[in-house]
Amino acid sequence: MTLRRAFYLSFGALSLALLAGCQQEEPTREDSASADSKRLRVAMLQPPRSGLNPLTDDAFKLSRWRTAETLVRLDDDNDPQPFLATDWAQVDERTWRFEIRDNVTFHDGTPLTVEQVVTALTAATHATPRPRILDGVKMTIEADGDHAVQVRTETPDPLVPNRLSSPQLAIMAAKAYGEDGRVNPIEAGTGPFVLKEINGTQSARLDRYDDYWGERAELAGIDADYVPDGTARAAALRTGTAEVVEAVPVSQVALIDPELVHEVPMPRTNTLYLNTERGVFNDPAMRAAAREALDREAIVRTVYEGRADEAKGLLGPALAWADGLRSPVEGRPDAADPNGASITLGTFTDRAELPEVAVLLEQQLEAAGFDVHQEVRQYAHIESDMLSGQFDAFILSRATMLDSGDPVAYMYSDFACEGSFNIAQLCDPAVDEALARAADLPTGPERRQAIINAEAAILKTDAAVPMLHERVIQGEAARVANTVRDPRERELITEHTRLDGAAQ
């Protein structure tokens, strides 16, 4: 039994009691007594940070509840598909034209118009801070007749449709946008559920929107509670307090009916970054020695209790296409003998598993002949040293797809000479050339192959040694059907989600 599991077992009963106490203080929901009212209770991982302002990370909650919608959505291969826009075309290298869907109304009853699309997207470009999806992108939007908008970028950008799929670029009703730059999402979206109440950092309530442009939702509504404590979320699933639960902790899974937990591969890779600029790992042969010392199976089995995937590359099973395009990496140097070489290994405490990974990795590296010294701090206190190359090696859990659903931005940030998150201090012309080639291609099979070629160029340097790909565990009561188990964490409840049978 891990220390983490022992901690959660010790405090599980207390967390359940606290959760029950909080719920007793909530007002009785008027729908609960109605036999034909089927409302879904959801335990969310984190409370909102900005009052559910869709121009912030809170947008992902609105997306997962299907109250706010975007012009474009992504399929399982992260290719753009129609949503509030029915079609689009590239007019020239910097201009895209999007046709807007007819007969759509916002939750306040006003119609979706070209003018409102322009207003919503322009508000996003002027927001402070800007949505992440627009980092480094200068974009202007204008009407093109009564049924389309044109989106222009300062430089050519083949990912414009992907960018417009970001939940942070949802199209909201005119009344949502205040003069202070904030956006109020209450009764302002276009989705199958209308947001009716925001109760601070405690809960939110949504009802079915009967005038939805698509299929009428099966559920009568959604009651979302924010439950940051993982033990309490697991208890909510066990006791029937919630029918859908985000992110059940690994330590709690053994206490839950296996039929109620579902593992979802995440686009997140735990990677050992090696400092290529100075120190021991400036030598490619020493980087090769560290790579060969790594025992992925032991880390997955002991730290993650088997609930993670051993890494074959930087991109994991959340990108279903990656493994089928991958070939063995060739041209790596032979490993040198570490012969007692002293290295400093860093990581942070904010993700509970990483210090445990560091302990196990230290043992593996020392067995190979390295002399390892650890530094483990909170992320806020270690980030600047990490980015400035103060460590020989660093363990990081890193999202490999940013908001566009495309991994090129992550690869460029982490491994290009000018990358802003280049922990390995890597500057390799072959890597930069491969990344530039991938970035210039439109979405589709050719771009995906170029991305895998760029991955191979990065792995050939041994600047990064991918260890494992994380999974998130989603809890669902037996009577819940048709939720979405989304690696991108954009979707959860849809118009097709339903509750079968009586409540527990």
Whose tokens are 């990656």? That residue is 322
How wide is the angle at C-alpha 82 spanned by C-alphas 438 and 108, nearest 5°? 130
pLDDT value of position 77: 81
Instruction: Report whether 391 contacts 418 (CB < 8 A).
Output: no
Q: Where are the alpha helices (DSSP H) in 369-497?
A: 379-387, 408-415, 429-439, 445-461
Across the 504 residues of the chain, what is the mean pLDDT of every consecutive 10-residue run?
A: 41 41 43 60 91 91 97 90 97 97 98 98 91 85 97 93 94 92 94 97 97 97 94 94 92 92 93 97 98 97 93 93 93 95 95 92 98 94 94 94 79 91 96 94 91 97 97 94 92 96 60
- Decide which of 3.40.50.12780, 3.40.50.300, 3.30.300.30, 3.40.190.10 is the CATH code for 3-67+191-257+478-499: 3.40.190.10
Positions of CATH 3.90.76.10 in the chain: 72-176
pLDDT given for residue 299 in this prediction: 97
CB–CB of 175/185 below 8 Å? no
Task: Return the half-sphere exposure (C-beta side, CA atoms, 13 A cut-off) of residue 238.
Answer: 19
Cβ within 8 Å of residue 30, ≥6 positions away? none
Q: Is 364 helix (H, G, I), strand (E, B) or coil?
A: helix
Both tokens of residue 201?
């950092």
Architecture of domain 265-470: Roll (3.10)
Spatial CA neighbour of 370 closest among 341, 399, 392 = 341
Chain centroid to CA 462:
26
Q: What is the pLDDT of residue 56?
A: 87
What token pair was written down for 23?
A: 């719920």
Provide the pLDDT for residue 37.
53
Q: What is the distance between the terminal CA atoms of the chain, rounded to a whole angstrom?
A: 31
**Per-residue CA distances from 45 to 229, 249, 413 (Å):** 8, 11, 27
| Cβ–Cβ < 8 Å for 462, 287 | yes
Quote the DSSP letter at residue 347: E
- Cα–Cα distance, 279 to 194 (Å, whole number): 56
- Those residues whose C-beta lies under 8 Å from the C-beta of residue 258, and which sit 6 or more positions away, are none
Query: Phi/psi at 475 (nearest 5 deg)?
Result: -100, 135
Residue 129: is the preceding peptide bond cis (ω within 30°)?
A: yes
Residues 39 and 11: their CA atoms lie apart, in Å, by: 30
Question: Which two tokens mark 433?
Answer: 């050339």
Name residue 342's beta-bridge partners. Answer: 371
Structure tokens at 162: 């992907």
The pair of structure tokens assigned to 444 is: 């589709």
Residue at token pair 């998130």? 472
Residue 13 near residue 252, CB atoms below 8 Å: no
Instruction: List, as one string, the DSSP characters of 307-345.
Output: -EEE-SSSS-TTSTTHHHH------PPPPPP-TT-EEEE
State the fold for domain 72-176: Dipeptide-binding Protein; domain 1 (3.90.76)
81: its two tokens:
């598909």
Q: Return residue ranges of the chain for CATH 3.10.105.10.
A: 265-470
Closest CA to 65 of 185, 169, 197, 193: 193
d(CA 475, CA 255): 12
- The SS3 of residue 208 is strand
Return d(Cα 23, Cα 20) in angstroms, integer.
Answer: 5
Which of 288, 389, 396, 280 shows the shortest CA–CA distance to 343?
280
